[in-house]
Amino acid sequence: MGDPGSQSERAIWKSSEPDKFNESFPVLESWLNKCKKEHSCPTFEPQPLLRRLLCISNSGPRVKLRLMEQESNKRGLYAALSYCSGLSSDFCTTRGNYHEYLQSISAWQLPKTISDAVEVARRLGFSYLWVDRLCII
C-alpha cells in the first residue's frame, strides 16, 4: 500500500520477533485507514466471496481456523495472501485432508508465512483469508 516514493512506502516486517511485529502493526493499520479514507476503490465494500476461504474465529485467547465452502451469493470482506512458497508441497489442501480441514486446521502446523498472514488478517478485523495452497485443491 502507499504511493511509491512516499514516506510510508517501507517494509515493516523485517523481523519475526513478537515485539517488532507489535511495534510495526500500527503502521500497517494507518496505511489501511488512509487507503479507506482517501481512495475510491470498492476494496472495502462487501464483495462476492470466493468458493473456499480460511475462516478465522477468535475463541478467547486462541484463534480457530478451518476451511470454509461459501454459498454462491454470499458477500463479505476477506484478505488474500499471495507469495511464492517454493516447490514444496507441504501443507496444502488435498482430497485426503479436505474434510478434516473443513472441521479444523491446526494453527501450530501452519508455515510461518501463512501463520503471520492469519495474525495480520485477524488483527485487521478480517474473518476470512484466501491462501492459494489451502483454498485451491
pLDDT (tens digit per residue) in 18-64: 667 788 888 888 888 888 888 877 667 788 899 999 999 877 677 89
Into how many domains does the chain fold? 2
- Average pLDDT, whole number, for the chain? 80
Q: Indicate whether 32 and 66 sit together in one domain.
A: no
Q: Indicate whether 69 and 125 sit together in one domain.
A: yes
Q: Indicate whether 39 and 82 sit together in one domain.
A: no
Judge whether 3 lies within some domain. no
Q: Indicate whether 117 and 85 sit together in one domain.
A: yes
Judge whether 97 lies within some domain. yes
Find the range with the poorest average confidence among 1-15, 67-81, 88-102: 1-15
Q: Which residues form the domain of 125? A: 46-135
The predicted structure's pLDDT at residue 6:
42
Cell of 2: 502507499
10-27 per-residue burial string, b: 16 or more CB within 10 A, e: under 16: eeeeeeeeeeebeebbee
Choice between 41 and 98, residue whose per-residue pLDDT is larger: 98
Per the DSSP assignment, residues forming a β-bridge with 62 are: 59
Judge whether 4 lies within some domain. no
Question: Mind listing the pLDDT tens digit for each residue in 4-23?
Answer: 444 444 333 444 556 677 88
Q: Indicate whether 66 and 32 sit together in one domain.
A: no
Judge whether 6 lies within some domain. no
Sequence-distant (6+) residues with CB within 8 A of 124 are 28, 29, 32, 79
Judge whether 50 lies within some domain. yes
